[in-house]
Structures are given as C-alpha cells and as structure tokens.
Structure 1
C-alpha cells in the first residue's frame, strides 16, 4: 500500500470548527454534536484529524444528521505538512513512511476500539461510519462480517483507498460508495467488482458517481477547479441523507 500525489491535492475551506477535543479509546479525538442516540465515526484521509475541512464536514454531519460525530486521530500524532502538499512539494513528505506507520496492522485495532467504545461504552443505539481515502478501507474493516460483533449499522466511503476485494466481500451492513471518475486508488476494476459483489449482499447499497471529479475532491474540493465545490457539496448531502435514513 502507498500514497500518491493524487491523494494530496487540497484546498482549505473557510469557517471555524465548533467542536472540542477529547480522548476516545486512548486516541485523541475531535467531537461535535450532542445527540445521545446516534453517532458517526469519521475516519480521516492523509490530512489527518486536525485538517479544517474534515472538522467542518463533521460539524455539518452533526447538525444535519442530528448525530454526535467523532473524528479520532488514527495517525498517532503525525500531521502532514499541509502547506507542502498544497504547493506540490511532495519530496518533503515521506509517503512510504506514512504508509508503513499507518498500516492496517497498526491502525486497524485502534479503529475497532473506537467503534466499540462509541457503541458499547458510550451507549449510542446507532453508529454510522464514514471514511475518506485512507478511511475507505477502515470503514469496511469495522463493517466486516469477520468482526466478532457488529460494530456499525451503516457505512459510507468516498474515493476509498487501500481497498482489496476481500474488504468488499465481507461487508455486512448497508454501504454507500461515493466514487469519483478519476481515481487511481478506487480503480475501474474495483468499482466493477463492488457492483458484482453488491448483488450478493442482503443489505442496502447506494452508489453515486461523480463525473469529471478527481480523487480527494470530495473532502478537499478546490473552488478554482470547475465542478469540485459542487461535487463536494453533493457528496456531503448524500452522506447526510444516507445516515438520516439509517441512523434514526
């Protein structure tokens, strides 16, 4: 598994996140919203849990879904140099090191622990999970029928990375896929495999296609690129509608 420069195209939104920071299953975590019944676990992309866009998305979900949203740090305190990424200075970012340090083997147990803490320890009746890029494999991991108990009630993933066919095979809860047209991570082969496999699922499946849009744009849409902000807004609204339906 590796990260590529296509994962790092970004544009920082305006606005100020309104949530606070806590600990969740020993991980630092951004929390926003105050619903006691429904929660959403948001798994960030390579830009991490402190990235303003991610927190602003979490705020939107909290308000519009009526849920408490948790955004844990799944990078062990590491934060990418946002400025270097925005200026295409990829040589200053150790992408191979990031992939090694944030591997499935290392972060998978943390992601499971956070989902379990929200549902079992904090007592939420319903839990959804949404993942962007890196977060795509993560939400499939906690939605897998290989887990000892059902951790989440529904998932959504946008331009997912690190997916393998086994992840798709084992999905056991309603799943939403937000797929952009130009995506070297979620390839045409994997998209087709998702469709074929979805026919065997006995759970709802929602697939939305974003023509002309590149990997990363649904959380980091650049208003200077035609159609990206509109796609980002559409994706946000799709996630809201999905979880409003399945968490309440």
Structure 2
C-alpha cells in the first residue's frame, strides 16, 4: 500500500480554532464541543489525514461538526508525529513512504482503541467516524470490528480494492457514506464504481451513499484550495453530506 502526491498537497486554511486539547485515555485529542445542548451518549471520531489534529484545517472542520450539534473528538493517533504543514508546499521533498513505515496500524490503532474505551467510560454508547485520506482506512477498520455505529469517509487512502469493500459489506453493520471526486489515485473512478456495485441499489442493508464532487482532487474535503469555486463547493458539499449522514444514522 502506498500514498500519492495528492496525499501531501493542498493549502492551509485560515481561521481561529474554538476547541480544546484534552487527554482522553492517555491520548492527546483536539475536542470540539457544541455550545448548545447535545447528546452526551454520542461522539464523532474525526480521523485525520497524515497531518494529524495539529493541522488547523482539521481543527476548523471539527469545530464545524460541533456547530452542527456533535461533539467531535480528533485523536492524535499519529503519536505526536504528524507530517509537518510545510510538506504541503510544492517544493517539499518530504519522504512520505519512510514516514508511513513507522505509522502502520500496529503503531496507530492502539491510540484509537484507548480513546474509544475512555469515551465509553464517560458514557458514550454510539460513535460516528469520519475519516479523511489516511483516516479513511481507519473508518473501515473500526467498522470491520463494529466499533462504530455509522461511517463516513472522504477520499479514503490505503484501501485494498475490492477486498476492503467486500469485507465491509460482509462484516459491518455501520451505514457508509463515501465522498468521492474526479482525480483520486487512492480511490479512483474504478474503485468508486466497484463500491456502488457492492453496496448500491439496496444491497447493503444498513445503508450506503456515495457523493461525487466534479472537478475535485484527492484531499479536497480537508486541504482543498478554497479560492477554486469547484473545490470550495466540494469541500462544503462533503461536509454537509457527512453531517446529514450522521443526523440520519447516529
């Protein structure tokens, strides 16, 4: 499994984060909490790309989930070793594959399990998971184990197609939303069609939906250039679809 150049390209967004950093199960997490009353027995696990919760883009997105009534928890499952934001620059020579070698599931999944266990102790009984790029892999893994009640992913990376799609359909009870796009080496048009074939037309009883954002490239939902009208519409559309998916199923 490997990444593509779009996994570490994009822009840093502007804004002022409103959440807080908190240790949950011994794992540092960015937590965005609604200012209005919200269901304390539900939480959204925001599973980041390779830039981790330290990237302001992820924090701002988590804040947006909170504004829509969901407590969003963004675990630092990269163990305080995210790819630095300056790797987003066009002249970066960051060694992505070397980084991936030390951030496999055996190093990263335990942190997620600790956060889930700690949140359960706090009274959370239903988890939604939204995963971007690298985080999309973990939406599938958590769904395989039926840790989550509902899954959503935008331009997932590191999936084995069709094996992971077939395994999800066979083992998971979590309704699945996939936000896809035009240019995506990690989840290309062929993979999108295969997902529709496996899950679509009511074949996956829990529920399935795939959104498609024309003119967008892998990474658009979290690192897209918002000065491009199509990318801006795609980012906002993917977020809206994810919120609606959680409202319907979580």
TM-score normalised to structure 1 length: 0.90
* Residues 112-163 of structure 1 deviation map (CA, whole Å, 9 limit, x = unaligned): 3323332x2221132100000001110110011xx2xx31110100000001
Pairs within 5 Å for 1:121-160: 121-144=121-144, 147=145, 150-160=146-156
Partner of 2:163: 166
After TM superposition, the structure 1 stretch with the greater mean CA deviation from structure 2, 12-21 or 192-201, is 192-201
Q: Which runs of 5+ in 1 are unaligned?
A: none
- Contact 2:75 2:111 (8 Å CA) reproduced: no
Which structure 2 residues correspond to residues 109-124 of structure 1 after superposition, within 5 A? 109-118=110-119, 120-124=120-124
Aligned length: 239
Query: CA–CA distance in 1 between the matches of 2:112 and 2:182?
Result: 28
Give the aligned partner of residue 19 of structure 1: 19
Q: In the alignment, is the contact (CA less than 8 A) between 1:74 and 1:102 conserved in 2?
A: no
8 Å contact from structure 1 (residues 46, 134) kept in 2 = yes
Q: Does 1:57 align with 2:58?
A: no
What is the rounded CA distance, in whole Å, between the counterparts of 1:99 and 1:14 in structure 2? Answer: 27
Contact 1:10 1:222 (8 Å CA) reproduced: yes
Q: Which has the larger displacement, 45-54 or 33-42?
A: 33-42
How far apart in 2 are the matches of 1:54 and 1:178? Answer: 16
**Aligned-CA RMSD value:** 1.6
| CA distance in structure 1 between the partners assigned to 2:241 and 2:72 by the alignment | 16
1:222 Cα deviation (Å)? 0.5
User: Per-residue deviation at 1:185?
Assistant: 0.3
Matched, 1:88 2:85: no
For structure 2, the 5+ residue unaligned runs are: none
Once residues 202 and 225 of structure 1 are traced to their aligned partners in structure 2, the CA distance between those partners, rounded to angstroms, is: 37
How many Å separate the matches in 1 of 2:98 and 2:27? Answer: 21
CA distances 1:149-187 after superposition (whole Å, capped 9, x unpaired): x31110100000001133222321100000011000002
**1:208 aligns to what?**
211
Q: Is structure 2 residue 7 aligned with structure 1 residue 3?
A: no
Is the CA contact (8 Å cut-off) linking 2:222 and 2:235 kept in structure 1?
A: yes
